[in-house]
Amino acid sequence: MDYITIALILAVVGLLFGSFAGATVWRLRARQLVEDKAAGEKVDGKEYKKLLPLTKATIRADRSRCLHCHHTLAWYDLLPLVSWVSTGGKCRYCRQSIGWFEPIIELGMALFFVVSFLAWPNPLTTTPQVAVFVLWLLAGVLLAILCAYDAKWFLLPNKVVWPLTVVATIVAIIRLATAYNTLGALVNLGIAIFILSGLYLIIWLVSKGRWIGFGDVKLGLALALLLGNWQLAFIALFAANLLGCLVVIPGMLAGKISRQTRVPFGPLLILGTVIALLWGGRVIAWYFTFYM
C-alpha cells in the first residue's frame, strides 16, 4: 500500500474513533454524576437529568442518543462528521443544536491519526515498530477522551487513566525489549518518569493536593511510559508550559481569565507529549547541531 492510501485509511479510522471518543466522554460523565449522587455529593440537577438516559442503555444496545430529546439515533445519525454536516449541526428529530464538541473531537482524532503517521519519527518496518505505532494511536484515543473530560470538568477519570497506563506500559516493555542497551533504556525511562510524574508527586505531597490533583501524577506516569526518554519528557513539559502561557496570557489580557480561573493542565500536558513524541527527536538533533 502506498503512503497516501494509508494516510486516507487512517483519516477514516480516526474519524470513527473520534466519534467513539466523543460518545464515551458523555457516557463517562453520566456515570460519574450517578456515582457522585449516590455518594451524597451535590450534582447539577439540570445536567443530571439531561445525561441520565445515557446510563440506562446496556452495553450491547449502547447507542448514542440525542442529549436534548433523548431520541435513539439511527445509523445514519452516527456517521462521523457526515451526519453533523448534513443536518447543519442540529438534531434530526428535535432540531436543537448539537454543538461543536462532536465534529471537533472527530476531526481532531482524524488529524491525530494522519499526522502521527506522516510525522512518525521511527521506521515502520518490523513488527515491534508497527505495534508501537498502533498502540500510540490507541493511546491517542484515550488521551482525546481525557483531554475533553479534563477541559470540561477538571477531572481525569480513572476509568480512562488505567487503560491508558496499560497501553503505555506495553509500549515501554516493547521498547525495552528491543533496545540495544536495555539497562540504559531503563534508566532513561526512569528519569522520564521522574520528570513527568515524580515532580508532580512532590508538588502534590507538598501542597497536600491543593495545587494539582493526583490525576496529573497518574497521567504523567502514563505519558512518561509512552515517551520512554528523558529528553522527550523534558520537551513535553516545556511545550505544555509554553502552550499554557499562550492560552493564559491572551486570556488575562482580554479579561477572560483571572488569577482564580482554573486552567486544566491535563490537556496541555497531553498536547505537549504529542508534540514531544512526534517532533522532539528533531528538536534535540537540531539543538545538538547548533549549540554543541
Does 54 bind Zn ion (CB under 5 A)? Our answer is: no
- Give dist(CA 107, CA 197) in Å, integer: 30
Does 91 bind Zn ion (CB under 5 A)? Our answer is: yes
Does 74 bind Zn ion (CB under 5 A)? Our answer is: no
Stretch that binds Zn ion, among 84-92, 136-144, 244-252, 280-288 (CB under 5 A): 84-92
Quote the least distance from Cβ 50 to Zn ion, whole Å: 11
Stretch that binds Zn ion, among 19-27, 90-98, 154-162, 198-206 (CB under 5 A): 90-98
Does 171 bind Zn ion (CB under 5 A)? Our answer is: no
What 246-252 contacts at long range (C-beta under 8 Å, 24+ apart), as own/partner pairs, is: none
- What is the number of other CB atoms lying within 10 angstroms of the CB of residue 54? 21
Does 68 bind Zn ion (CB under 5 A)? Our answer is: yes
Question: Which bin fits 95, alpha (ψ -120 to 50), beta or left (φ > 0)?
Answer: left
Nearer CB in complex with Zn ion: 93/133: 93
- Give dist(CA 244, CA 240) in Å, integer: 6
Choose, by CB under 5 A, the member of 69, 134, 177, 249 that binds Zn ion: 69
Quote the least distance from Cβ 253 to Zn ion, whole Å: 39
Does 90 bind Zn ion (CB under 5 A)? Our answer is: no
Owner of C-alpha cell 523534558: 234
Quote the least distance from Cβ 72 to Zn ion, whole Å: 10
Does 119 bind Zn ion (CB under 5 A)? Our answer is: no
Question: Which residues are bridge partners to 72 per DSSP?
Answer: 65
CA within 13 Å, CB half, 128: 10
Q: Would you state the torsion angle of the CA atoms of residues 213, 218, 223, 228, taken in this order, to the nearest 10 degrees?
A: 130
Binding stretches for Zn ion (CB under 5 A): 66, 68-69, 91, 93-94
